[in-house]
Amino acid sequence: MSITVSHVSKRFRPRGAGEFVALDDVSVDLPTGQLTALLGPSGGGKSTLLRIIAGLETADAGSVRIEGVEATHLPPQKRNVGFVFQHYAAFKHLSVARNVAFGLEVRRRPRAEVQRRVAELLELVHLTQFADRLPAQLSGGQRQRMALARALAVEPSVLLLDEPFGALDAQVRKELREWLRRLHDEVPVTTVFVTHDQEEALEVADEIVVINHGRVEQIGTPDELYDAPANDFVMGFLGPVTRLGGRLVRPHDIEVTTRPGIVGGTRGRVERVTRIGFEVRLVVRLLDDGQPSRQDQVEVAVTRATQRRLGLTDGVEVWLAVIRGAAVPQMRPGVAV
């Protein structure tokens, strides 16, 4: 295991406010060479956990081991971790090349080696032609790539990224996360990144740790989490959910027919149709004996083709049923699958 976090707790006592539990007895093992996402809503404690691993924050209780070395009380300089901040933390007065060289310069490496390594890294992050610019002259995405090169320069045993794409716009975000995935395949350093964006986690990570209210809700691969979420929270956080027959299901795991053919089908009437590209989202009001007696609404996602074939428009009567093999919460409260 590259990073072992055992029984870590952290409380904050903001001035004038009560106590805030950021982490409550958290234990996680992060294997070497993997790309792991810490996923959860903001204020859930995931950034605190990352900062404790980096040594930028100290835990009230528990221990952290990095590459088998007891690191709980090591200062950040001695942990050999690379840290990337959401707002880049670029050294504003230094050129891009000097930013990347910083970690090597403070280690007093020979000048030739520093230059060679900086050139390599700038090549890796596609910033070679910007070497002499100041960070202020770069776009957000370029600044974050510079920050990444700077963190990689010292050959860290683990790379920690705190909401690395959080401050970027949607298009750049998407590009950068694909790029991060490719980079990780090229430079397979153990990487942990914090995100509140489930799509980002599902797309990039080998493994996802879901953290909420300072506790680990579930640890698993993207498929495991999506298909077999441990509880309602994980299911709801990883993708869209709706309620049918008293259970949580994904809107695309509902089968729609216009005739009462399916066993256990529930009758309803289409109330609203929203089309987003190839996907069509229906809001269906459930009916009791032809009357909308219950206030239940169900969201259903179908393809554009299905919608056209069945003629699903406002006011059409439909029967809904959960398909076989649908993702359902395992209902085991608490930890790990």
307: tokens are: 């919608």
Of positions 56, 97, 158, 168, contacts other proteins by CB under 8 A? 56
Q: Smaller CB distance to other proteins: residue 83 or 233?
A: 83
Binding segment for other proteins among 17-25, 70-78, 279-287, 301-309 (CB under 8 A)? 70-78
Applying CB under 8 A, which part among 120-128, 145-153, 203-211, 234-242 lies near other proteins?
A: 145-153
Is residue 102 a contact partner of residue 150, using CB atoms and an 8 Å limit? yes
In angstroms, give the least distance from the CB of 90 to other proteins.
Answer: 8
167 interacts with other proteins by CB under 8 A: no
Give the phi and the psi of residue 230 in degrees, each rounded to 5: -70, -35
Comparing CA positions, the residue from 4, 134, 7 lying closest to residue 62 is 7
Cα separation, 142 vs 14, whole angstroms: 35
| Total interface residues for other proteins by CB under 8 A | 27
Stretch that binds other proteins, among 118-126, 151-159, 216-224, 313-321 (CB under 8 A): 151-159
Per the CB < 8 A criterion, the answer to whether 306 and 284 are in contact is no
Using alpha carbons only, what angle is made at residue 176 by residues 172 and 177, rounded to the nearest 5 degrees? 120
Decide: is 179 part of the binding site for other proteins (CB under 8 A).
no
Q: Which of 50, 52, 148, 151 binds other proteins (CB under 8 A)?
A: 151
User: Does residue 91 belong to the site contacting other proteins (CB under 8 A)?
Assistant: yes
Determine, following the binding rule CB under 8 A, whether residue 66 of this chain makes contact with other proteins: no
With CB under 8 A as the contact rule, which of the stretches 64-72, 144-152, 212-220, 254-262 interacts with other proteins?
Answer: 144-152
Half-sphere exposure of 86 (CA within 13 A, CB side): 11
Q: Which of residues 103-132 bind other proteins (CB under 8 A)?
A: 103, 106-107
Cα dist from 287 to 241, 268, 291, whole Å? 20, 5, 5
The single residue among 14, 18, 75, 264 that binds other proteins, judged by CB under 8 A, is 75
Binding segment for other proteins (CB under 8 A), chosen from 75-83, 195-203, 217-225, 305-313, is 75-83
Structure tokens at 65: 């081991």
Q: Is 218 helix (H, G, I), strand (E, B) or coil?
A: strand
Cβ contacts of 140 within 8 Å, gap of 6 or more: 88, 167, 168, 169, 172
Measuring CA to CA, which residue among 248, 250, 246 is closest to residue 264?
246
Let me know the angle formed at the C-alpha of 85 by 82 and 91, rounded to the nearest 5 degrees. 85
Task: Examine residue 74 and tell whether it contacts other proteins (CB under 8 A).
Answer: no
**Binder of other proteins out of 11, 93, 275, 332 (CB under 8 A):** 93
Give contact residues for other proteins (rule: CB under 8 A): 54-56, 75-77, 79-83, 85, 87, 89-93, 102-103, 106-107, 147, 150-151, 153-154
